[in-house]
Amino acid sequence: MSESGNGNNNKVNRKTVKAKGVVKPKAERPKPKAASDAIQHKTDAENKPTSTQPAPAGLPTENMEVHHHPQLEHKPKAWKEYLLEGLMIFIAVMMGFISENIREYISDNEHVNQLTAQLVRDLEADTARLKEDYNGEAKMMRKTDTLFRLLQQPMGKADLRKIQQLIADSHSLWLFKPSGGAMAAIKNELRLKQFSNSKIIGYIANYEGHASLEHTAEEIALQYQRNFTDVFMRQHFTPANLDAAFNHFPVSDQMRDLKQQDLTQLAADLVLIRINIDEMIRHNRSLMDDANGLLHYVIDRYHPEVE
């Protein structure tokens, strides 16, 4: 009984083991090659850049990012918007043009004021010198008139002391040189509207013309002194009288190698000297009129601020 019982138990155990037995794992079957290639191809496709352009050197291809610009939809503007934009551009250009003109106008006015103020100062200085020259030339003219009358007398009755003193006095010469700095600058700036539309260039031309005539008369007077009075004094004045006459000291009636013919020749030369002095006086008066006319014109038209 015991054996049979054991035998039955063994059968039960073998069945139980067979029912509950450990299932031996089966070996993994290799995947088909086609499926593996498909998976690898899909993986490569996902990692492949979508851009058709080659990747920059030095950058890994798998880390590149491609940015696509959005396609913006532009709606056409209404004609009123174009008109408004054009009007705004036109106004901006016009404002720039106007501001530039205003700036240039202010700058030109300041420059004109400086030039005209300097011209006023120059003309005031010129008129002062012209007045001084006129007084000197008029005084010399009176002395040459007196000297001419004395030279008409016979040598025995001639006042040689007075003649020598008058000859020395008539040897004086006043040279006028205008202040042309402002005038030259204005002539160089005639492009300025304030000058181009005025009469200032006409006044300047008249003034410079008479100044040129005055300069010519002065050169002639200088030649007459060298050729006439200087020669007479060197030949007939004693050294003491020549020194005394030019230092405004009394002179004696002694003269060297003097003849009646010498006095007559000096009288004839004196006629030419007096004519030229008269020319200088007339040119001086013309210059004075031109200077005063230009001065009044500049003050009335430009109102320069003179310090």
pLDDT of residue 75: 65
* β partners of residue 255: 237
Type of residue at 139? K
pLDDT of residue 67: 57
Taking alpha carbons only, the member of 62, 43, 41, 42 closest to residue 51 is 62
Q: Is 255 helix (H, G, I), strand (E, B) or coil?
A: strand
pLDDT of residue 92: 82
What tokens appear for 190 in the block? 């005639």
Percent of the chain past pLDDT 70, that is, above it, reads 72
DSSP letter (8 states) at residue 51: -
pLDDT of residue 73: 60
Spans of the chain, pLDDT less than 70: 1-75, 77, 99-100, 104-105
The Cα–Cα gap between 3 and 105 comes to 140
The Cα–Cα gap between 121 and 139 comes to 28
Cα 124 from chain centre:
27
Helix (H) or strand (E) holding 144: helix 79-151
Taking alpha carbons only, the member of 165, 283, 279, 175 closest to residue 229 is 165
At which residue do the structure tokens 């205003």 appear? 102
Percent of the chain past pLDDT 90, that is, above it, reads 56
As a dihedral over the C-alpha atoms of residue 205, residue 211, residue 214, residue 220, rounded to 10 degrees, the angle is -100
pLDDT of residue 146: 96
The Cα–Cα gap between 143 and 139 comes to 6
